[in-house]
Homo-oligomer: A and B are copies of this chain.
Amino acid sequence: MGTGSSGSRRTSTGKPRREISVLRLGHRPGRDPRLTTHLALAARALGARRMYLNPPDPDLAQRLARVGRRWGGDFEVVPAPDWRRVVRDHRGTVVHLTMYGEPIDRAVPRLRRGGDLLFVVGGAKVPPEIYRLAGANVAVGAQPHSEVAALAVALDRLGGLPTARAFRGAERRIVPTVRGKRVVPTRRP
């Protein structure tokens, strides 16, 4: 299992950027492919470095690798047959996203000081022990929710949207525009 800690990214102010990973538990390759794809795309677009996936799903990992080749950056889907090891080996704070946890407003200041972050995102059922293993159980609203939405809000609040620099090596890039679509090819570095 690659940990892939290849060089910390820096923000535009030159400060090292906190590295963020996501651990998706309880993926069901037969039933969840689109939902977990959305989770991975959200993680990537909002600046996470990788998503550990349990159980592994090579098709999904390849799909995201293709997105990366086309649109840049170094996000990867890492197979995680042993998710407890991912949690145990994480240096930094393990944050379990759950509708039952403490409000994110209250948790954010602490998480900002918590070093690298591993967000644990369950599916319909999560192993109860995760509540104990996590350093923080955090709720994005105490309501039934989408884990994709909860992760997106948490990543946005903690890191904000990454700069274009985070997506180096793209074959193409979007030129933001108020009407329609503008996509231009880029030269690879």
Contact = CB atoms under 8 A, between A and B. Distances in A.
Main secondary structure of the interface of A (DSSP, over half): mixed
Contact of A137 (B143, B152, B178): B178
Per assembly, the copies of the chain total 2
Contacts of A55: none
Given A142-B164, A149-B149, A102 B45 contact: no
Interface string A119-160: 000000000100110001101111111111111110011000
A187 interface: no
Nearest to A40: B146
Nearest to A73: B143
A92 to B, nearest CB: 18
23 contacts: A38-B146, A38-B147, A41-B149, A42-B145, A45-B143, A46-B141, A46-B149, A67-B144, A100-B183, A101-B176, A103-B161, A137-B179, A137-B180, A142-B164, A142-B173, A142-B176, A146-B152, A148-B148, A148-B149, A149-B151, A150-B152, A152-B152, A156-B157
